[in-house]
Structures are given as C-alpha cells and as structure tokens.
A and B are shown apart, each in its own frame.
Chain A
C-alpha cells in the first residue's frame, strides 16, 4: 500500500517568510508525528497527533511553529517568520495502534 507522502520534497524560502509543509499519512493510521532532522543528528520530535487533536506538542521549539490535522488525516506544519536555524529536513511519520512510526520521505527546508 501507499506509504506516508510529504509535499513539497524541497522548499527554499527567504528569512522571515511563512511556509507550510504537508503530510499525508498511511491510510487508517490514527497517529501522526512531525520530526525534524539536522545533518549528523537523529530526528528531533516536534508534535504528535492522535486523530484530530495534538496529543503532545512539547517539541515545538517556539510559537512560530504550529501544526494542524483538521480531519484526522492530512496534517500541515506551519512555520511563521522563518529563520536560518529552521533549515532542516522535516519528517512526518504515522502509526497504527502501538506500532512503530513509519516515516515519509521528508521535506528539505532551506531558509536563505
């Protein structure tokens, strides 16, 4: 079956701009996660949704970051007033029940 999909695959923006990153989870997966990964480091947790609600947003670094999942399927990660330090690969994952998260291909965000 289809895996997790993410769009765009690459996003280049200028400092101060607003960006949206989209994630389409595996069909039927109720849990959805956002992570970000910098070079040489492991994925860093941002937020986890169970259904439509954010069950744990403890990893969001500040109030410039926000994520939604209005219908319990597709999720959008929104970053306001982007900074160069936001440059990273943003990974989305989904899971069913207690299973391990399965990752999408990621969105590479570059803030110039």
Chain B
C-alpha cells in the first residue's frame, strides 16, 4: 500500500462544474496536508495547506480534512479549462519542516 493514494484519473468535468479530488494516507501521525497543481512540463505549484479537521476555503478551492478517516479532498468550484492539470496531494508527519510524501496525482480535464 502506498503511503499517499490518489485516483490517477483522468477526471473529466464540464466547465462550470465542481471537480472533486480525493486523497487517502496511511500514517496516522500525519498532521500537515498540501494540495499542489502541476501543469504539464512545469513544477508543482502550491494551492492549499490544511492542518485541522474540517473545511478550508480559498476562492474557488476548498480543502477538506478528516483525520479519523485519513482522508483529504480538494473541491474546485466553477471549474475552468485553465484548471486542467495534475493535482498532487502531499502529506507530512508533524507540523515542523520536514519530508512531505506525495501521491502520484490526479489528472483533471475541464471541458469547455
């Protein structure tokens, strides 16, 4: 079992819809959770960080964390074609600086 698991996709949604991206992790000591967006041929770009159970909203993005279920998700509202990318989930033990473990990402396509 991989430490961080994501559905590889591709996930396809129409423009304007809500895209839901999911991630599960195996280490119950994980306390820091990050979502990155990666366009083809580019490096990962940080979208959201979340540390506490519940929802965290930033513009069209909402991160949801459930530590009991070891599950973190990213919702993208009013999806745009420019949101088409690979979304990477990363998990870190503790809250200090240190190693983050990444999933292999979910590829999202938003169709006009």
Judge whether B96 and A98 touch: CB under 8 Å: yes
- B4-38: which have CB < 8 Å to A? 4, 32, 34, 36
Q: Which chain B residues lie closer than 8 Å to A28 at the CB level?
A: none
> Once bound together, how far apart are the Cα atoms of A111 and B98, in whole Å?
29
Taking residues whose C-beta sits less than 8 angstroms from the other chain, chain B's interface range is 20 to 34
Q: Which chain B residues lie closer than 8 Å to A101 at the CB level?
A: 34, 46, 100
Taking A42-B102, A59-B99, A98-B96 as known contacts, 19 extra A-B pairs with beta carbons closer than 8 A to each other, sorted by chain A number, are A33-B99, A33-B100, A44-B102, A45-B100, A50-B97, A55-B97, A55-B98, A56-B99, A58-B99, A89-B43, A91-B43, A91-B44, A95-B97, A98-B32, A100-B49, A101-B100, A102-B46, A104-B43, A105-B42
Q: Which of A45, A99, A105 contacts B99 (CB 8 A)?
A: A45
